[in-house]
Chain A
Amino acid sequence: MDFSDIEAKWKEHSEDLEEQLIFNARAVRGDKLQQSEKELFLPLLHEIVNVVVITATVIVVAIFSLIHLQELRYSIPGLFGSGIGLVYVFYAAAKAIRMGKVDYYNPSIVVIQKNIASIKLLVLKYRKLELALLPIFILLISPILFKVIQKRDLYADLQFYLFEVLFAAGFGILGIYLVNKYLYDQRIKKVLLFVEEIKEFES
C-alpha cells in the first residue's frame, strides 16, 4: 500500500466521521461546564489554602514564642519552627505562582509539555522536602504550643514528650518512605523520562 493510498483512506475516514459521528450536546448542558472550572482550579486552590493555613500557624507560633521570649527553651524551638513554617509557605506560594502563571494554550505543544513537566517536577521535589521537614517542624513547635494552649510543660513530662517525638517522627518517616517509594520517586522518574523524550524528539 502506497502512502498516497493511506492518505486517501484517511480522508474518507474523516468524511465518514463528519457524517456519522454525533456530538452529545445534552451531556454538557446545564451547569456542568461551570462545574468543570472549579475542578480544574482545585490544584491551585490546594496550594493557596496551604499558604493561608501554614502562614496562620507560623504567625501563631511566632507570636507565642515572642511572648515567651525569656523562656529560651520554648521560644528558640518555636522560632526555628516558624522558620521551617516559612519554608513551607515559600514552597506552597512558589508552586501556586508557577501553576497560575503557566500558559497551557498558546505556546507550542513541546513548550507546553515542557512547562507541565517542569511544574510537576518542582511540585514533586518540593513535596519531598516538605515531607522531610514535617517531623522536625512538629517537634520544634510542640513545646510552645502545648505550653500556651494546653498549659502543659512538655519538658517536665519527658515521657509524654518522648512519646510525642517518637510518634511524630515515626509517623513522619514512615509516611515519607511510603510516599516517596510509591508515589514521588516513580513519578519523578516518569516525568524525567518524558522530558528526555521531548529533548530527543526536538533533536
Chain B
Amino acid sequence: MNEKEFILLIDEHKSLIFKVCNLYCAAAERPDLQQEILLQLWQSMDKYDGRVKISTWIYKIALNTAVSHYRKTSKKRKNRAILSASILINDSDYDFEKDQNIKRLYSYIQELKVMDRALILLYLDQYKYEEIANIIGISRTNVATKLSRIKNHLRTRFKDVK
C-alpha cells in the first residue's frame, strides 16, 4: 500500500479513530494518541491479509494502541513527536458533542474499565456479538453478558442525571 492509498484509507475511517481517541484519553492527549494509532496502522499495513473487513482490522489496531497508550506513563508519551500537527481537525468549529446526551455518553463510557470501553464502542458501532467476540478475544456468551451489564450501567447513569 502506498502513501496515497493509506491516506485515503485513513480518511475513510477517521471517525472511528476519533471515537477511540475520545474514549481513551483526555482532550489534551488526543492528538498524541491519534498520531500513535496512525503510525501503528502505517507500520502494520503490509500485515493485513484480508481475512476480516478492513474496518474491523483498523478498529482492532486502534483499540490495542489506545489500551497500551492508556497505560503508558505521561513521560513516555511526551517522547513521541513525529507529526507536528494534529491529524484530525475540526475546521468549521463544529461541536461534535453539541448534544448533551452524547457528551454524557462519552463521559459515562470513560468511567468503564479499559476493555469494557472497547466492547461498548464496538457494539454502538453496530458490530455483531460474533465479531466483537473475535476482535476482543472472549466468547460470544461473555460478550452478551458483559454488554448487558454495561448497558444497564449506562441506562442507570442516564437515569441518575434526570
Query: Which A residues have a C-beta under 8 Å from some C-beta of B?
Result: 1-3, 5-7, 9-10, 12-14, 16-18, 20-29, 32-33, 35-37, 39-40, 103-113, 116, 190, 194, 197-198, 201-202
Which one, B18, B99, B102, contacts A21 given CB within 8 A? B18
- 8 closest pairs, A vs B, by CB? A108-B137, A110-B137, A17-B15, A27-B85, A36-B39, A20-B94, A1-B158, A23-B11
**CB proximity of A58 to chain B, nearest CB, Å:** 31
Interface positions, chain B 1-15, Cβ under 8 Å from A, are: 3, 6-7, 10-11, 14-15
Most buried by B among A113, A194, A198: A113
Select from chain B the residue with minimum beta-carbon distance to A106: B47
Residue of A nearest to B15 (CB): A17
**What bracket does the count of chain B residues touching chain A fall in?**
35 or more
**Contact at A9–B105, with CB atoms within 8 Å?**
yes
| Chain A residue at minimal CB-CB distance from B124 | A10
**Cβ contact within 8 Å between B88 and A22:** yes
Residues in B138-162 with C-beta less than 8 Å from chain A:
138, 142, 151, 154-155, 158-159, 162
Structural contact, A109 and B63, CB atoms closer than 8 A: yes
Residue contact A36 to B43, C-beta cutoff 8 Å = yes
A17 engages B138 (CB within 8 Å) = no
| Docked-complex contact B91 and A22, CB < 8 angstroms | yes
CB-defined contacts of A22 to chain B, threshold 8 Å: 14, 88-91
How far apart sit A64 and B46, CA to CA, in the bound complex (Å)?
47
- Are B101 and A35 touching (Cβ within 8 A)? no
- Docked Cα-Cα span, A112 to B134, in Å, equals 13
Partner of A33, one of B42, B88, B96, B162: B42
B85 engages A6 (CB within 8 Å) = no
With the chains together, A109 CA to B42 CA distance in Å? 18
For the complex with contacts A10-B105, A107-B137, A113-B68, 14 further pairs of A-B residues with Cβ separation under 8 Å are: A6-B101, A7-B124, A9-B99, A16-B96, A17-B15, A21-B14, A23-B87, A27-B86, A29-B3, A39-B39, A105-B47, A105-B57, A108-B134, A201-B113
**Complex Cα spacing A111 to B67, Å:** 13
Q: Given the complex, which residues of B lie within 8 Å of A190, measured CB to CB?
A: 71
CB atoms of A13 and B102 under 8 A apart: yes
In the complex, what residues of B have CB within 8 A of residue A105's CB? 44, 47-48, 57, 60-61
**A40 to B96 Cα, complex, angstroms:** 32
Bound form: Cα–Cα A45–B117 in Å? 34
CA distance A2 to B80 in the complex (A): 42
Closest to B44 in A: A105
